């Protein structure tokens, strides 16, 4: 029997052995290979510098509450917070995207330039007012103004909102190849208590916001008008005497912007929060470098688990240029509305909250796994008007020839997960867990949006995303609805029931939709099994 010849490890290999498994997911492929075959001081320094850059990128991708005090990967935690919340939504995006889509990469770059100018302007105003950008939801933003001892958080939010609406003037007449396009913004504010929670597994964590205050903030935006700042009754009560109001829909009012520039000001007094410090390289010896790399990994790993794996891979490979190129693509988009848990939150006693949060965490872990095994991305968990929304997509950043089938298979798996999940009991009664799911495919703008060197996220935006969300909201309990564009790609691999055309907000003509009910019990259709999808 031939003897096995082993090459001797270098001293540096033995030093790297402990941290090497974690570096596999945090280093670009070429840098990882260089480090391993030639672990010299120069190459170890490159590894450290990459990790330091990646840490800064991840800090920009996550809300302040996570970056300042990240949990251990897989640690589930929650906390009630008080303050004013602001929700914004952009009007005019679809027309601007259509004006640039035909120009390919050039159009994508032009569109990104406009959006990053918009977000940079808004984020700067929010920061100067003491606000904290919690999440991007497509072209929308959710912002928190933490409660302070002076009780000025709602007034700070209102003044920030007025400044933001005034700043929209520079986006009122954008020149495109198809003529001028105008962007506008609706903005709603509410004040109250809401729950923040970190849930998931060491492989994938998510920072979520729950509670009626979040819901009321989004209702305020929905009841608003482009160019105005809309407040709920509770927010109005907090700032009476400071501003003048104009009646809106029942339960809401608009702030009258009759302040001079000097009266409105540019800043609000707020505690200045420093960006978390990056790891410093104090010892450049080979022993010191390996030790500093291990410390850097300990700082990066808790942040990296909040980013979906395909997006994280994209960030790792592009970290050296600090930029992801924008593009127009045609993925399949899924929205999952998880109903029951968030509604039960308002009725739960203190000792029942852990059950709710833990159930949410288990649901997220199982759904993320079902999506990941089929090559998809669970991008975001947010709180919409109908419950907790999960946006999932297939085809970006990694495309497959059968993304619609992967999405349909995932939708069925998600429905099974939610309907089989053991519900927690609140007030002695089990929570009624259920879901609504929508599927659509079409063109989207995929890009890293926000401040180019500040708070930003990789995201997808388009009318396709909006249509999918509205389709999910239209579904009945545990129903999966899909559009004609998805149905055409499924063929006979799935059982779909035609429901006829329906009217959806934002669509001029009725949209034919289908209900996805299952898969035929046929052995030749095994390609819809996730185990056979990875290579397609």
Residue 88's H or E segment, with its range, is strand 77-91
Bridge partners of 514, per DSSP, are 482, 498
Right CATH number for 310-532 from 3.40.50.2300, 3.65.10.10, 3.40.50.720, 3.30.70.1230?
Answer: 3.30.70.1230
C-alpha 401/C-alpha 422 separation (Å) is: 36
Q: What mean pLDDT do residues 107-133 have?
A: 93
C-alpha 156/C-alpha 166 separation (Å) is: 16
> Closest Cα partner for 189 from 148, 228, 246?
228
The predicted-structure confidence for 382-403, as pLDDT tens digits, reads as follows 765 545 689 999 999 999 999 9
Provide the residue ranges of all domains of the chain, joining segments of one domain with +.
12-47+276-306, 71-264, 310-532
pTM: 0.90
What local confidence, expressed as pLDDT, does residue 221 receive? Answer: 95
The DSSP output letter for 8 is P
Q: Is the peptide bond before 397 cis (omega within 30 degrees of 0)?
A: yes
What local confidence, expressed as pLDDT, does residue 5 receive? Answer: 57
Topology agreement, domain 71-264 and domain 310-532: yes
The predicted-structure confidence for 157-167, as pLDDT tens digits, reads as follows 999 999 999 99
Q: 236 versus 209: which is more confidently predicted?
A: 236
Right CATH number for 71-264 from 3.20.20.80, 3.30.2020.30, 2.130.10.10, 3.30.70.1230?
Answer: 3.30.70.1230
pLDDT-derived band of residue 2, with 50, 70 and 90 as boundaries?
A: low
What local confidence, expressed as pLDDT, does residue 352 receive? Answer: 92
Average pLDDT of every residue of the chain: 89
Could you give the 3-state DSSP secondary structure of residue 174?
Answer: strand
What local confidence, expressed as pLDDT, does residue 519 receive? Answer: 86
The predicted-structure confidence for 42-89, as pLDDT tens digits, reads as follows 999 999 999 999 999 999 999 998 999 999 999 999 999 999 999 999
> Closest Cα partner for 123 from 63, 67, 82, 188?
63
């Amino acid at each position: 029997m031939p003897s096995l010849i082993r090459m001797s490890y270098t001293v540096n290999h033995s030093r790297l052995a402990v941290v090497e498994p974690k570096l596999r997911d945090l280093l670009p492929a070429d840098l990882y290979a260089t480090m391993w075959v030639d672990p010299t001081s120069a190459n170890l320094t490159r590894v450290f510098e990459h990790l330091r850059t990646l840490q800064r990128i991840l800090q920009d991708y996550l809300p302040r509450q996570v970056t300042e005090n990240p949990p251990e990967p897989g640690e589930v935690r929650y906390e009630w917070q008080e303050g004013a919340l602001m929700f914004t939504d952009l009007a005019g995006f679809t027309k601007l995207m259509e004006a640039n889509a035909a120009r390919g990469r050039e159009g994508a770059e032009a569109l990104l330039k406009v959006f990053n100018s918009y977000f940079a302007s808004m984020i700067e105003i929010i920061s100067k007012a003491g606000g904290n950008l919690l999440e991007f939801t497509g072209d929308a933003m959710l912002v928190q103004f933490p409660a302070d001892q002076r009780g000025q958080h709602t007034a700070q939010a209102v003044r920030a909102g007025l400044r933001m609406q005034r700043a929209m003037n520079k986006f009122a007449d954008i020149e495109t190849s198809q003529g001028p396009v105008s962007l506008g913004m609706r903005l709603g504010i509410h004040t109250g208590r809401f729950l923040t929670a970190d849930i998931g597994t060491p492989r994938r964590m998510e920072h979520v916001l729950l509670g009626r205050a979040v819901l009321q903030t989004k209702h305020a935006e929905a009841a608003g008008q482009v160019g105005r700042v809309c407040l709920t009754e509770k927010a109005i009560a907090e700032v009476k005497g400071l501003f003048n109001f104009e009646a809106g829909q029942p339960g809401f009012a608009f702030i009258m912007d009759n302040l001079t520039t000097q009266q409105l000001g540019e800043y609000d007094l707020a505690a200045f929060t420093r960006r978390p410090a990056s790891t410093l390289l104090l010892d450049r010896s080979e022993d010191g470098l390996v030790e500093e790399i291990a410390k850097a990994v300990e700082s990066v790993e808790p942040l990296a688990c909040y980013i979906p794996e395909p997006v994280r891979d994209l960030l790792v490979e592009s970290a050296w240029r600090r930029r992801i190129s924008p593009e127009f693509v045609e993925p399949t988009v899924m929205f999952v509305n998880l109903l029951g848990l968030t509604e039960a939150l308002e009725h739960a006693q203190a000792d029942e909250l852990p059950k709710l949060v833990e159930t949410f965490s288990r649901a997220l872990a199982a759904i993320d796994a079902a999506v990941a095994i089929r090559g998809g991305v669970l991008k975001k968990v947010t709180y919409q008007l109908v419950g907790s929304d999960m946006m999932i997509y297939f085809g970006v950043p990694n495309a497959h020839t059968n993304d619609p089938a992967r999405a349909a298979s995932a939708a069925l798996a998600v429905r099974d997960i939610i309907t089989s999940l053991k519900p927690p009991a609140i007030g002695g009664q089990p929570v009624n867990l259920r879901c609504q799911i929508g599927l659509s495919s079409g063109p989207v703008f995929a890009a890293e949006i926000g401040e180019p060197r500040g708070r930003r996220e990789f995201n997808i935006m388009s009318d396709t995303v909006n249509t999918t969300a509205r389709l999910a909201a239209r579904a009945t309990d545990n129903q999966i609805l899909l559009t004609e564009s998805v149905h055409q790609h499924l063929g006979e691999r799935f059982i779909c029931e035609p429901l006829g055309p329906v009217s959806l907000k934002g669509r001029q003509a009725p949209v034919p939709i289908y209900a996805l009910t299952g898969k035929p019990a046929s052995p030749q259709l095994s390609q819809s099994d996730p185990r056979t999808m990875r290579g397609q």
